[in-house]
A = this chain, B = another copy of it.
Amino acid sequence: MAVIVPFESQPAGSIDQLVELVAADMERVNATILSRTGSDVTMIPEVANHLISSGGKRLRPMLTLAMANLAGYAGEGHVKLAASVEFMHTATLLHDDVVDESELRRGRLSARMVWGNEASVLVGDFLLGQAFRMMVEVGSLRALDILSSAAATIAEGEVMQLAAAKNTATTEDEYLAVIRGKTAELFAAACEVGPVLGGRPKAEQTAAASFGMNLGIAFQLVDDVLDYGGKSAKLGKNVGDDFREGKITLPVVLAFRRGNDVEREFWVRALEQGKIGDNDLNHAIGLMTKHRALEDTLNRAHHYGAMAVDALALFPPSPMKGALEQVVAFCLARSH
Contacts and interface: CB of A to CB of B under 8 A. Distances in A.
Interface of A: 39, 41-44, 91-92, 95, 98-99, 117-119, 121-123, 125-126, 128-130, 132-133, 135-137, 139, 141, 144-145, 148-156, 158-160, 162-163
Contact of A152 (B130, B144, B159): B130
A118 B144 CA distance: 27
A81 to B, nearest CB: 14
Contact of A132 (B98, B118, B148): B148
B144 A129 contact: no
A152 B133 contact: yes
B132 A163 contact: no
B122 A151 contact: no
A251 B148 CA distance: 40
A229 B130 CA distance: 38
A152 B139 contact: no
B155 A123 contact: yes
B119 A133 contact: no
A interface: dominant SS: helix
24 contacts: A39-B156, A41-B159, A41-B160, A43-B162, A43-B163, A95-B121, A95-B122, A98-B98, A98-B117, A99-B117, A117-B117, A123-B159, A125-B128, A125-B154, A126-B152, A126-B155, A126-B159, A129-B155, A133-B148, A133-B149, A133-B152, A136-B145, A139-B141, A141-B141
Contact of A118 (B43, B99, B128, B135): B99
Copies in the complex: 2
Contacts of A145: 133, 136-137
Contacts of A41: 156, 159-160, 163
A212 B230 CA distance: 56
Nearest to A125: B155
A198 to B, nearest CB: 20
A94 to B, nearest CB: 10
Given A128-B151, A136-B141, 20 more contacts: A42-B163, A43-B159, A43-B162, A91-B125, A92-B125, A95-B121, A98-B98, A98-B117, A98-B118, A99-B121, A118-B162, A119-B159, A123-B155, A123-B159, A125-B151, A126-B152, A126-B155, A126-B159, A132-B144, A141-B141
List the 10 closest pairs (A to B, CB-CB), nearest first. A129-B152, A129-B151, A126-B155, A132-B148, A125-B155, A99-B118, A136-B144, A122-B158, A133-B148, A41-B160
